[in-house]
Each structure stands twice: as structure tokens, then as C-alpha cells.
Amino acid sequence: MDKLKREDLMSLETYAEQRSELRTRVMVHKKNRHVAVGPNATLQFEDRLTMQYQIQEMLRIERIFDRAGIEEELAAYNPLIPDGTNWKATFMVEFDDPQERKHALGRLIGIEDAVWVRVGDGERVYAVADEDMERETEEKTSAVHFLRFELPAPACIAARKGAAIAMGIDHPEYHHEIGAVAEAVRAALAADLD
């Protein structure tokens, strides 16, 4: 999947005019890239379109229009675009109640390293987490992590041929598994491997 370049982005003015339309398209697109793993963990699989939207939003919010600022945003978000042999996801640990969330994040240290995917009959592929920066301390993990699942060649081939995709989390305090993601999600993820 090609990385984004400055030329792929809209000016702030053009984005303001097209934001509603793009947002609607991206929200529909994200539905097939969203996987809940148990009641309190979600994987949002990223791709070129989700990252383009994220960059456009950052440029809009921060009112960034200079070349250096745009290049900085591209450098921050391009690493979250799959490379054709992997899936990249934003992993969120979600608890509505702030006190419950604080307690849970203390119990779930290391959860980001316990997230896995499996294609067909293949082996589990565990996430490589937070390559950009450390997101946990000795006291707690973060509620948001960035994951990369680097797939072996046979898994890529199997996914493109329609093999089921399973996911799960094997953490002592949080163990959930999905035997097979929905077909729309499977197809979206398989397309990331082209």
C-alpha cells in the first residue's frame, strides 16, 4: 500500500468543503476494519484512507498549512499504513468509568503484547507494539497502543485466498478470542495484503 505524500492531501480550504463527505465515507469504511475482542478491547485496523482522514483532521485542528508541518504529520502517520505483508491497528482498552479504567490499566500491563491474529490453520502472530514510543509504565498500561502484525508469506497467501482470520488476546487478566472475524472484515484485511 502506497504511503501518503503531500500531494495526496487537500488544502485546508478544500478539506473544509469536502470534510462531511469524506468523513461519511471513512466512517462506513472503518466499520469493516473494526473488531471488538471481548467487552473492553477494540482493534481498529488502519489503511491509507483511514490515515489520510486522520492527517487531514490533524491539519484542520492544528491549522497546519506549511510544508514542514505537513511533512511532520505524514512522518507520524505513514508508519500506520500496512506494507503489504502486515496489518496495522490502533488497539484500545475501553472502560467507561474512569475509576474502573484506572484500576484495569494497572492490571493489564503488557496486554498490547498479548494480542494475536491467525490466518486459517497457521500459527498465531503476536503484535509488535508501540514501535514509535513506550506507552506503559510500571504502574499501568496505556488505553491506546499501535500494533503491527507481521505475517509470514503463507498467511498472506491464505488470507488473499479467503482463509478465515481469527483474533484474540492472551493476557492473564483478559482472555478473549474470536474464532473468525466477519466476512466484510476478512475481505478488508485481505485487501491490505496486496
Q: What is the pLDDT of residue 138?
A: 82
What are the start-end ranges of the H helices in the chain?
A: 12-31, 48-62, 67-77, 98-107, 153-160, 183-191
Task: Extract the C-alpha cell encoding 75.
Answer: 512522518
Q: What is the pLDDT of residue 133?
A: 61
Q: Look at the alpha carbons of 109, 110, 114, 115 in this order and tell me if their dihedral is positive or negative.
A: positive
Q: What is the pLDDT of residue 31?
A: 95
- Cα–Cα distance measured from residue 129 to residue 46, given in angstroms and rounded to the nearest whole number: 14
Vertex 108, ends 132 and 143: CA angle to 5°?
Answer: 50
Task: Extract the C-alpha cell encoding 127.
Answer: 503484535
Q: Look at the alpha carbons of 77, 83, 84, 88 in this order and tell me if their dihedral is positive or negative.
A: negative
How confident is the prediction along the chain (194 residues), in pLDDT tens digits per residue?
A: 789 999 999 999 999 999 999 999 999 999 999 999 999 999 999 999 999 999 999 999 999 888 999 999 999 899 999 999 999 999 999 999 999 999 999 999 999 999 999 999 999 999 999 776 677 778 899 999 999 999 999 999 999 999 999 999 999 999 999 999 999 999 999 999 98
Q: What is the pLDDT of residue 131?
A: 72
Q: Give pTM, 2 decimals.
A: 0.90
Domains identified in the chain and CATH numbers: 1-31+48-80 (no CATH), 32-46+82-194 (2.60.40)
Q: Look at the alpha carbons of 60, 64, 65, 68 in this order and tell me if their dihedral is positive or negative.
A: negative
